Amino acid sequence: MSFLNPLYNKGDQRTVLIMNSSMRVLQVWKEYYARHNPLVIAPGSLAAKRYALERACGKRALLEELVNMSQV
């Protein structure tokens, strides 16, 4: 017994899907894709601001440590 899809059109097989590359569509897709992925941080979110602040503080601490090492 084989399944036969009544909606399948075997005629024109040259149809190509064209990507819509507008920023609005890409933004929606990115938000949809990243909604369950904790590794993706949305720009402008509190998590992104916290991450940037942590990096800045870490960079400053490393710079101060380098300066202290060069003075010794």
**pLDDT value, residue 30:** 66
Tens digit of each residue's pLDDT (9 = 90 or more) over 16-65: 777 777 777 776 666 677 777 777 777 777 888 888 899 999 998 989 99
**pLDDT value, residue 57:** 92
CB 36 within 8 A of CB 43: no
DSSP 7: T
Please give the model's pTM, rounded to 2 decimal places: 0.38
At residue 15, φ and ψ (nearest 5 deg) are -75, 130
Q: What is the DSSP string of 32-71?
A: HHHTT-TT---TTSHHHHHHHHHHHHHHHHHHHHHHHHHH
